[in-house]
């Protein structure tokens, strides 16, 4: 059997008409000779009756402090509803189909409720059902511990389910179907002229995802790349080929990879950041001790810092908005004076080909100052150059960089 894993996101299965479309894509794969294994997310987005966010809000209203374990049981229902409905649509179209929960599909996770990691997949049940000629539909975003506890995988978890199944079944492809044409040069909700990329490497998409382009969960990419399983990001709403994601710089199935020389792959953004500027005052040994204490106290509290710049008498970093008050409290308790800039956003230009290319930072600064966008902080790494701007400038900054690098 030549498996193909097809994952459909929440918007892809939102209406009866769309579910017919989805069934069409599954049946088409079957007719091409593949054995489809389908992963579904919960139906719709926040506000829709069976969407995950709706279940979370319901739980919070019903009972403020629902335990993580019970929360996972509740959250796992969205994908069960969605999967059962999809199986019914396929059956009605005359294609034998069976729905499996994460547990029934053999998705084994660790016990971290809400954020569980897939440890392994026991594919026996899927294989058995597939051998009987059935299209297997698997609930995304959920698994089970070795002790039989139901867990969920965190945001974007259905992508991870699809990736793990792709590896376990040695699938020809893992296809991530969503509401955009593929991996694009920027978030199409911000940039009208964003283009779908024909091919990207695993590394490029991981970078994009880590910098905020959450079209595919980075963990999912890390899983498929271990076994070189090609991933495609495609639209449920059209029949375009989408974006092929494979390893870098290699000849892939007869075609030469042309992505290698691309300076910049895409522009990304992460909103809701808060910048801290902490005076460590003393220089020399005294200052170093204070800086060490600062990082240690924040690390102990589990707050992750981004965008860190260390100067002799000052440390600058950002944290996510939802933890900034906690961070401020910790710093105060430890005796530090911190300047805080709320409502910031990180905008990044990402591309493996920019390494050693001179002038990228200069071009970024030029593009942003031309638009009167203030740069609060800037930094670069091997594959990314990023700037911190005010949240209100975020969209404008993304558009300016897209124009500068992707539209010329």
x/- contact string, 228-267, with ligand ADP (CB under 6 A)?
--------------------------------------x-
- Of 83 and 156, which CB lies nearer to ligand ADP in the complex structure? 156
To which residue do tokens 């994601």 refer?
Answer: 245
The CB-of-143 to ligand ADP minimum distance in angstroms stands at: 18
Q: What is the CA radius of gyration of the chain?
A: 23
Establish if 64 lies at the interface with ligand ADP (CB under 6 A). Answer: no
x/- contact string, 136-165, with ligand ADP (CB under 6 A)?
--------------------x---------
- Of 215 and 327, which CB lies nearer to ligand ADP in the complex structure? 215
| Segment (H or E) for 185 | none
- Of 327 and 364, which CB lies nearer to ligand ADP in the complex structure? 364
Nearest to 253 by CA among 348, 172, 314: 172
* Angle (CA) 249 254 260, round 5°: 20
To which residue do tokens 């966010």 refer?
Answer: 53
Contacted entry of ligand ADP, Mg ion, none for residue 280, CB cut-off 5 to 8 Å set by kind: none
Report the first-to-last Cα separation within the chain, whole angstroms.
45
Token representation of residue 128:
């058995």
- Of 217 and 402, which CB lies nearer to Mg ion in the complex structure? 217
- Candidates 117-125, 183-191, 291-299, 344-352 — which segment interacts with ligand ADP by CB under 6 A? 183-191
Contacted entry of ligand ADP, Mg ion, none for residue 183, CB cut-off 5 to 8 Å set by kind: ligand ADP
- Of 102 and 156, which CB lies nearer to Mg ion in the complex structure? 156
Query: Which residues, 6 or more positions from 67, have their beta carbon under 8 angstroms from its beta carbon?
Result: none
Beta strands in 293-376 (DSSP E): 306-311, 314-320, 337-350
* Cα–Cα dist 26/38, whole Å: 8
Instruction: Tell me if residue 75 falls in helix, strand or coil.
Output: helix
Q: How many CA atoms lie within 13 A of 152 on its CB side?
A: 24
The CB-of-266 to ligand ADP minimum distance in angstroms stands at: 5
- Of 278 and 406, which CB lies nearer to ligand ADP in the complex structure? 406
Residues engaged in binding ligand ADP (CB under 6 A): 9-12, 41, 156, 178-180, 183-184, 186-189, 208, 213-215, 266
């Amino acid at each position: 059997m030549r498996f193909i894993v097809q994952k459909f996101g929440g918007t892809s299965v939102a209406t009866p008409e769309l579910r017919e479309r989805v069934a069409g894509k599954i049946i088409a794969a079957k007719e091409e000779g593949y054995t489809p294994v389908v992963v579904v997310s919960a139906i719709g987005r926040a506000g829709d009756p069976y969407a995950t966010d709706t279940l979370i809000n319901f739980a919070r209203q019903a009972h403020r402090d629902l335990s993580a374990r019970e929360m996972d049981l509740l959250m796992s229902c969205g994908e069960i509803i969605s999967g059962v409905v999809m199986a019914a649509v396929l059956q009605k179209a005359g294609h034998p189909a069976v729905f499996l929960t994460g547990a029934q599909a053999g998705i084994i996770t660790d016990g971290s409720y809400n954020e569980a990691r897939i440890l392994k997949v026991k594919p026996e049940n899927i294989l058995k059902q597939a051998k009987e000629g059935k299209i297997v539909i698997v609930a995304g975003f959920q698994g089970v511990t070795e002790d039989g506890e139901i867990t969920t995988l965190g945001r974007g978890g259905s992508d991870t389910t699809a990736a793990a199944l792709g590896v376990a079944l040695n699938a020809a492809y893992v296809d991530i179907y969503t509401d955009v044409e593929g991996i694009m040069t920027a978030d199409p909700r911000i940039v009208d002229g964003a283009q779908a990329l024909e091919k990207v490497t695993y590394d490029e998409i991981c970078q994009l995802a880590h910098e905020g382009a959450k079209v595919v969960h980075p963990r999912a990419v890390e899983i498929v790349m271990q076994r070189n399983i090609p991933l495609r990001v495609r639209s449920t709403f059209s029949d375009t080929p989408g974006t092929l994601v494979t390893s870098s710089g290699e000849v892939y199935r007869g075609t030469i990879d042309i992505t290698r020389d691309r300076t910049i792959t895409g522009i990304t953004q992460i909103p809701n950041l808060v910048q801290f500027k902490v005076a460590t005052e003393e220089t020399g040994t005294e200052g170093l001790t204070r800086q060490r204490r600062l990082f240690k106290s924040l690390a102990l509290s589990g707050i992750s810092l981004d965008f860190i710049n260390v100067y002799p008498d000052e440390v600058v970093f950002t944290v996510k908005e939802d933890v900034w008050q906690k961070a401020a409290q910790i710093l105060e308790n430890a005796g530090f004076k911190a300047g805080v800039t709320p409502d910031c956003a990180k905008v990044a230009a990402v591309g493996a080909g920019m390494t050693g290319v001179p002038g990228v930072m200069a071009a970024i600064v030029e593009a942003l100052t031309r638009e009167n966008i203030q740069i609060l902080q800037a930094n670069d790494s091997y594959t990314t150059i990023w700037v911190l701007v005010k949240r209100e400038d975020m969209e404008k900054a993304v558009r300016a960089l897209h124009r500068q690098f992707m539209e010329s």
